[in-house]
Amino acid sequence: MKINGHKERRKVPSTELTWSRLLEVINYNPKTGVFIWKKYHSGIRIGKEAGALLNNKYRRISIDGFSYLSHRLAWMYVHKEFPKCDIDHINGNGLDNRIVNLRLATRSQNLIHSERWGPSRGIYFNKNKKKWHARIHVNGRVISLGYHRLKKNALISYQESATIYHGKFNSLTT
């Protein structure tokens, strides 16, 4: 299974990680988002922070030989079940795993909110028309929002549409 473009586990476990097993080996602080080992684990001492950085964007934690993204484990720790869809980091920081910063999201919502789109996403300069083109992605389709002489007008057009189409997952509102 891929999560946010990354392989979540190195191999498929014969049995899924259970909530009780998670609590047995690790502590999670919902206010800080930090996981601490509470059981000796693969040469790692009790009390040490769990996990390793994955591309400097997320933390990955290995339990019983299987690798999980820490934000998904945080969700499981608090809600007692492994999330069936994406987990979105509300503030856009994939290393901030405080439970107040995590929410369930569809793949589309999560991608819309990701910072890879940048501050000027949804607009580009069309050299042929010598105008700024605003457009938005909705349900896998690109919708043209028109051409604008001024960049700020194209951005306003995009921002208004992003609020309508994407609501709380529009990173312009968080």
**What are the pLDDT digits (tens) for 106-123?**
876 776 656 455 555 778
User: Is the pLDDT score of 8 beyond 90?
Assistant: no
More confident residue, 62 or 44: 62
| Portions of the chain given CATH number 3.90.75 | 2-105
CATH topology for 113-173 is GCC-box Binding Domain (3.30.730)
Architecture field, domain 2-105: Alpha-Beta Complex (3.90)
Buried b (16+ CB within 10 A) or exposed e, 32-69: ebbbebeeebeeeeeeeebbeebeeebbbbbbeeebbb
Q: Locate 160 and state its tokens.
A: 């208004």
| Portions of the chain given CATH number 3.30.730.10 | 113-173
CA angle 89, 95, 97 (to 5 degrees): 60
- Per the CB < 8 A criterion, the answer to whether 87 and 105 are in contact is yes
Please state the rounded mean pLDDT for residues 49-56: 87
3-state secondary structure 97-131: CCHHHEEEECHHHHHHHCHHHCCCCCEEEECCCCE
Please state the rounded mean pLDDT for residues 11-28: 81
Residue type at position 76? M
User: Is the pLDDT score of 40 beyond 80?
Assistant: no
Q: pLDDT tens digits, residue range 68-111?
A: 999 999 999 999 999 999 998 888 888 999 999 999 988 767 76
Predicted model pTM: 0.66
User: Is the pLDDT score of 9 beyond 70?
Assistant: no
